[in-house]
Amino acid sequence: MRRSGTRGDQMGNARRQRSLAVFPGSFDPITNGHLDIVDRGLRVFDRLRLAILVNPDKKPLFSIEERVSLIRSAYKGNRRVEVDTFSGLLVDYAERVGATVIIRGIRAISDFEYEFQMALMNRRLNPSIETVFMMPAESYSYVSSRLVKEVFQLGGRITDLVPPVVERRLREVYGTPIKTPPAQGRRRTR
Ligand code: PNS
C-alpha cells in the first residue's frame, strides 16, 4: 500500500495543479500565432486562461473589452479556454486563480532574452509558479500583433495571420485597406 505524502503523491498533486495554465499578454489583437500556442497548451494542460494585461501606460488599438470579446469569439464553444483581464503582478494573478504555470510563446531567439528575464523574475517573485515556453509553428514565427496592424493599415494581406473575426474588426476600425500596388518589375507594359 502506498503511504500518503510519497514522492509519487506529490507529483500527482503537482500534475493536478498544473492543469490550469495562464497565457498572459497584451493580445492587441490576438493572432493566429497566439491561437497556435493555445492549441499546444491545451495538449498539455486541462484548461488555459488567456489573461490580458490592463496597462494604463500603453495606448492599445483595441480596448480591453474589445480584446476580451475578440478572444471569446475566436474560442466560442470551447469550454477549456477562458479569457480574463488582470493588473498588477502576473504571478499574484496566477496564484489567485489557482494556476501554477505561465505559458509564453517563443518565436525566435530574439524573444528569448526578454522572456528569460521575465521568467526568472517571476520565479524569484513566486517560486511555486513555473514558466513554460512553447514554440509556435514556423509559419507564425514572424507574426506579431504590431506587424499585423501595420501591414493591414498599409493595405497588406493579413488573412491566415489572424482569426477572421479580428480581420473583420480591423476592417471596421481602419476601413478597407489601401490596395497594394503591383510590384514594379511585374507590371505589364501593355
Ligand atoms: O504580450 P506582451 O505585451 O509581451 O505581454 C507582456 C506581459 C503582460 C506578459 C508582461 O508585461 C507582464 O506579465 N506584466 C504584468 C506585470 C508583471 O508581473 N511584471 C513583472 C514581470 S517580470
Report pLDDT digits (tens) over 79-138. 999 999 999 999 999 999 999 999 999 999 999 999 999 999 999 999 999 999 999 999
Q: What is the pLDDT of residue 178?
A: 55
Question: Is 18 designated active site?
Answer: no
Q: Is the pLDDT of residue 64 over 90?
A: yes
Q: Which atom of ligand 1 is nearest to the CA of 27?
A: 1
Q: What is the pLDDT of residue 118?
A: 98
Q: What is the pLDDT of residue 79?
A: 94
Question: Is 145 designated active site?
Answer: yes
Q: Is the pLDDT of residue 17 over 50?
A: no
Q: What is the pLDDT of residue 117?
A: 98
Mutate to test the pocket of ligand 1, among 22, 27, 118 (most ligand atoms within 8 A of CB): 118
Pairing of strands 20-25, 81-86: unpaired
Q: Whose CA is closest to atom 3 on ligand 1?
A: 26
The mean pLDDT of 64-93, rounded to a whole number, is 97
The pLDDT mean for the chain works out to: 89
Q: What is the pLDDT of residue 15?
A: 52
Give the angle subtended at the CA of 81 by the CAs of 47 and 173, to the nearest 5°: 155
Residues with Cβ within 8 Å of residue 70, at least 6 apart in sequence: 27, 29, 30, 62, 163, 165, 166, 169
CB atoms within 10 A of CB 34: 24
